[in-house]
Structure 1
């Protein structure tokens, strides 16, 4: 049953690959052009922070879509609500592992395969990580003319955290639309307005996740968890519009 459901949604994986891989290629082409024509003395690793966030956003979109369209589709094909929800969650978990794994692999590719090419295009003999960090194996000695590369990456634990957050939010918003239809869109609009203007009320640090207080982090976590619990309940008691 899941195999057939997976075949129906095989195009989702192409969507993830196109978004994540396409952004990676575009970013690297831009960096290579900058190195070749402007020849700066510093570079930046960006894939390790940009790609996981983009992957999480694309997963959120598909979670939102699948919890409305594909959930109702499974019900119309004779699946129970519990079976339909299980199929959707299993599909999204597999897609999440795929897109986050792809983001991680591309971030590693940037880190270990491209700096040497950046250095050559910029006219340097080699490269080194900035801020006095140790050199990866195979890089040039410190006394040579080296391209300094600043390291902006998310720690490994951000990947499962972003995956879980994207799935929870996507299912919550999708369940809202599935139950209330167009009326649920007004709730989403209110949430969006809160995200846009809420940080101005909470202070400038609300814009930077790394500077959130423990209370704010706990509050967001509780809201996301509550939304997920409600989404599961709502989908298990869903009314199907034929």
Structure 2
């Protein structure tokens, strides 16, 4: 995490009188360890990391068990992605519960990813270029109910929700299931079928079936055309 600032200066609690309970959801264990080391010094930051998860199933289990104040949520996760975590968490936690707020923290800056998790209920979206101090500030602001975005990403949300001219969804992309979108992104990034299967905890045969379905629905002939299609929509 380096230098992107979402305008969160002064949002932390320097006196240490308040703590925000946080769950980290990211499929890269080393990244979770790095975030934990950066922001998890509770006495200094006021952030108490109460749980971690690496896929959708783990995330829903940990979130419902710990009821954190804020969930730092990666967009691309095995088992259905960040949108699936949002959907399932909402269905398992009643309205009477203390609100659990979600802040997307992702390497992706694709408009489709940003809009997808915000529509799913996340309160903000920052990329992994954010500094540790700014991430702490973003966590506190989201805990307070504010919406927080890395500067350049806010425009995606404004365009999607404020413009009456822009279509709300990509009709071609909307034909695909969530799993097919996950497979599409990984294939477009150059992953071999075996690597996709390992990433998503599914069989190679299932990957092949999803790729065939994606090519058929998008009327494409091969993975090279699929890669160009995904790149044109900034999905990779």
Query: Could you tell me the TM-score, scaled by structure 1's length?
Result: 0.25
More strand by share: 2
Structure with greater contact order relative to length (CA < 8 Å, sep ≥ 6) = 1
Query: Could you tell me the TM-score, scaled by structure 2's length?
Result: 0.26
More helix by share: 1
| Structure number, greater radius of gyration | 1
